[in-house]
Structure 1
């Protein structure tokens, strides 16, 4: 619960300071580069985990492989998310739906970490845990893609 509160506080901080940030063009360009790099790092790591999950569903990997991959990508996912928040504070106020998608990414990421620990406790996880993991994965993908698309459209002035 403390991690979810921390995510929400960080998110609220970005929303609170971003409207008041008027940065020089060079700083904006650097923040944009960091933002894009953070997206690559965080979302790329998420896609890696989800790819291993699909391989498991296809019978080409074990669940242990998926869980190991998820544990190994934990730091890049959160580093990417933190980089997105930090750089986003310098890029200006995000559009409402994009800001909400970012919050969902963070809160769902905390939930996914809890599920990862629970899944790791069972040699053969119960169906209800696998269903919860599938829902968390679906929410994650929807939120990351929503933030990506809305960020792109916002950068294009639409």
Structure 2
């Protein structure tokens, strides 16, 4: 919020930034949705945990590239609304937490219930924060 320009960008800069912002949503949130889908399949007994962990490791870079792209392009879309900025902050902090959970989930034959609860909570927070940011971003562009 502090780095965003105080004046509105030109129409050209805004258009380029908006396109980059949308691409970043597709890349970052798309990777998150894929990992969460595999996690849901694991919770319902349709996939082994190893598939979820492999997918999470593979999606790590696109997730963070998308997130970084959102932050960068968002600077050129004007000052963000505070609720959206909070949702994006939650996405980032929760992403760091989820990344730290990954090694704890790896290499264990039986997961403790507490660890599964932490992983499910991180997933739920991720989904809630990403969807909140997307919806608020959409509403912000409509006003």
TM-score bin (small chain): over 0.9
Structure with the higher fraction of residues in helix conformation: 1
8 A Cα contact 1:19 1:93, kept in partner = yes
1:23 is displaced (CA, Å) by 2.2
CA RMSD of aligned residues (A): 1.0
Correspondence for 2:86 = 100
1:129 lines up with 2:115 in the alignment:
yes
In the TM superposition, what whole-angstrom CA distance separates every residue of 1:78-124 from its partner, at most 9, and x where no partner exists?
00000000000110111111000000000000000000111114222
8 A Cα contact 1:105 1:140, kept in partner = yes
State the SS of the aligned residue for 1:18.
coil
Listed as ranges, the gaps of 5+ residues in structure 1 are 1-14
8 A Cα contact 2:91 2:126, kept in partner = yes
Aligned length: 143
Correspondence for 1:5 = none
Extract structure 1 runs of 4+ deviating beyond 4 A: none
Q: Distance in 2 between matches of 1:94 and 1:123?
A: 45
State the SS of the aligned residue for 1:59.
coil
TM-score, length-scaled by structure 2: 0.96
TM-score, length-scaled by structure 1: 0.88
Listed as ranges, the gaps of 5+ residues in structure 2 are none
Q: Distance in 2 between matches of 1:113 and 1:76?
A: 13
Q: Superposed, which structure 2 residues align to 1:83-122 within 5 Å?
A: 83-122=69-108
